[in-house]
Structure 1
Amino acid sequence: MTDHKPTLIECAMRYGTGMGLLWAFKFMLFPLGLRIPFLQLLFIVLTLGVPIVGYVFAKKFRVRYCNNVLNFSRAFLFTIFMYMFASMFVAVVHYMYFRFIDGGFIFEAYQGIINQLKEGAGSELIPTIELLQTNIDLLAGLTPLQFTFQLVSSNVTWGMLMALPTALLIMRKEKKQ
């Protein structure tokens, strides 16, 4: 029997699932963080840690499956696919949350924040608050599926942006002897 060496896509799916689990946990902190400030801080810290986790996963891929040699194009493809699969994984969580759990909670919380800003804001901030109100109203009018697609699009875009520096840091040429 021969040993099966996983393909780049298979590895990206595995690591993307791990990243998706992190994103799902992180997402659960977001609505809770609207009520408990410490959880909002934890959400922000985990969000800032996503590129670090992406780097660690890409490095593990290089060491485990590529004999510690990885050119830029394979590193770039791996990281793009990893973030894409993570986005697809967390999209299911996003949809289930907005379809079955949220019930408008997030938008009501933001509306409360906007109302507080309106009460305490000076006249110079009114146009900014009105723009914020327009954007919140626009997002609140989306269906759970539309909002999920919006989040997937955002996650894939950020993943592509993070893939470039990650690939540059991860690539390693074969040492000549």
Structure 2
Amino acid sequence: MSKVFNDDFIKLNVSVLTVSDTRTEENDTSGDFLVESINTAGHNAVEKKIVVDNIYKIREALSTWIADSRTQVVIVTGGTGFTERDSTPDAAVPLFDKTIDGFGELFRQLSYDTIGTSTIQSRAVAGLANDTLIFCVPGSTNACRQAWEQIIQQQLDSRHRPCNFALRLKKVDAHG
């Protein structure tokens, strides 16, 4: 059975989570970049939060969005490195119903041109949880830009062929 594509743009509700022990609303350039990019692409940035790099604080924010009737996509920035404090993948992956292995693979491949072999320390991941799409990307604004412009934006666009995630996500509450 083939998928029926519609050429109409589907506006998605996207939340942004910044994971950092030092970022604030005043200096969260990565989170701000993502919110602006989401809105510029025609989607709706529904919520933005900053949490400390703590597995349980990250899971709390993600679980709230996974369970709510508004958020269809979450982009997490920060905490994907290899230091002892980086815990975003460790928090997110157990929540996934399905892992999107190709996201991390492609992100690291693209990052190689920018940061060389240091890309092996990136633990960028993505997955689906309760039909909510979750992308976990590094905290630098350049890494967020690369992930957004070269991968995420296309995969959120319902007109992107041969496939995208827009039709796979949970339906939102009409009042959300």
TM-score of the aligned structures, taking structure 2 as reference length: 0.27
Q: Which has the larger radius of gyration?
A: 1
Identify which of structures 1 and 2 has the higher relative contact order when contacts are C-alpha pairs closer than 8 Å and 6+ apart. 1
Normalized per residue, the structure richer in helix is 1
